[in-house]
Amino acid sequence: MLGLSPLEIGIVALVVVLLFGTRKLPELGSGLGKAISNFRKGYQEGMAIDVTPPKEESAREEKSSSSDEKDR
């Protein structure tokens, strides 16, 4: 596994526990898991990004732009 011996992995684990404490480790693990799943999901969906606003926002923008035109 990445050329690391069990002793080196143990030392890295000990340093992580010392840095973050035992209470933060579950939060870090769940955050890392969510980040990995979101990355995989984004990678599988491809590079298509939908930037069109939802209908509610576009309706508000149309109303505000029409009121701006009336003011002129």
Write down the pLDDT at residue 67.
58
Task: Report the pLDDT averaged over residues 19-38.
Answer: 90
* Local structure of 37: helix, strand or coil: helix
Q: Note whether 61 and 53 are within 8 A (CB).
A: yes
What pLDDT score does 60 carry?
63
H helices then E strands: how many in the chain?
A: 2, 0
The predicted pLDDT at position 63 comes to 64
For the whole model, what pTM was predicted?
0.45
Average pLDDT over residues 33-62: 77
Query: pLDDT tier at 31 (50, 70, 90 boundaries)?
Result: very high
What SS3 state is found at 29? helix
